[in-house]
Amino acid sequence: MQKEVDFEVPPIVEVVAGVTFRRLSGFEIPHFGRFWEMLPSDFSRTQTATPNLRPDESYGPLDMPVRCWFLSEDNRRLVQLQRDSFFFNWRRVEGDDAGDYPEYHTIYPEFVRHLGSLHDFVKRENIGGVEPIGCELTYVNLISVELLNGHFGSATDVMIDHRRVGGKRFLPEPSEFNWVSIYPLPGTAGQLTVRAASAVRTTGANEKLIRLELSAQGQPASNDQKGLDAWFDLAHYHIVKGFADMTDLDFQSSVWRRR
């Protein structure tokens, strides 16, 4: 089936799929190591990270969550686990070609497989069940300002909702910006948050960028696999269509090579 929106060289640098669930009170530090054994062997490294603290949860001084990262050998894939959430990331690494993006139909099934491993693990260890109460799908794009300046009077003109209009203006071009827009998803599926901000690439030359993040958050209609699949497909559809709707069509064709 032909996709409605497809780019030969998309500016995507990261995709994140995840779920939050009721806290697994029986999940202790040793369980992280035992779960690691269930991941494919190329997830060869681990790292602790700052935990995600949910606003609907209360944490005592002795009850702070631990977040563990399991990283693939090539650093492109990342599994994040803490007692109340599970996330899977695909990340572009330095030297990757823009056309190397594996696409959603590859990333999402891998997320589902690893989440299935967590389901099997907590059942085997008899420490509760993973029942999603929230889902998230996030796409992160980095757009070169230098590339944009060759096409527009202002780099932010690539985002058609933020174009500067009028003739002579009192205020100059912003030296930095940080814009947030929130759009409802259909029915009770949740919301799509779009964040656009100025950024600088810290590796190599200090290249100026626009960081454009589209993040869908919500709750599936049901906690079974069919409900999860339906929610993530809806989120993906709105992220892709939303990206195409908010960015300049000519730039999509000439630079990102929209097919």
pLDDT 10s digits, 19-63 = 999 989 899 999 999 999 999 999 999 999 998 887 777 777 667
CA nearest to 209, candidates 137, 130, 155, 151: 155
Task: Give pTM, 2 decimals.
Answer: 0.93
pLDDT in tens, 212-253: 999 999 999 998 999 999 999 999 999 999 999 999 999 999
> If you compute the radius of gyration of the chain from its CA atoms, what whole number of angstroms results?
20
Contacts of 74 (CB under 8 A, 6+ apart): 42, 93
φ, ψ for residue 96 (rounded to 5)?
-70, 145
Residue 2 has pLDDT above 60, yes or no: no
Q: What number is the average pLDDT over the span 141-161?
A: 88
Per the CB < 8 A criterion, the answer to whether 218 and 235 are in contact is yes
Residue 190 has pLDDT above 60, yes or no: yes
Say how far residue 33 (Cα) sits from the centre of its chain.
25
DSSP H helical ranges for the chain: 29-36, 104-125, 145-149, 225-246, 249-254
**pLDDT for residue 7:** 92
Residue 1 has pLDDT above 50, yes or no: no
Residue 15 has pLDDT above 60, yes or no: yes
**pLDDT for residue 68:** 97
61 vs 16, which has greater pLDDT?
16
Tokens encoding 70: 């399991």
**pLDDT for residue 225:** 94
Q: What number is the average pLDDT over the span 137-142?
A: 97
Per the CB < 8 A criterion, the answer to whether 159 and 209 are in contact is no
**pLDDT for residue 63:** 72
Cβ burial, residue 16 (10 Å; 0-12/13-18/19+):
buried
Residues paired with residue 180 on neighbouring β-strands, in sequence order? 195
**pLDDT for residue 64:** 76
CA nearest to 23, candidates 159, 100, 169, 122: 122
pLDDT in tens, 93-130: 887 776 678 899 999 999 999 999 999 999 999 998 99
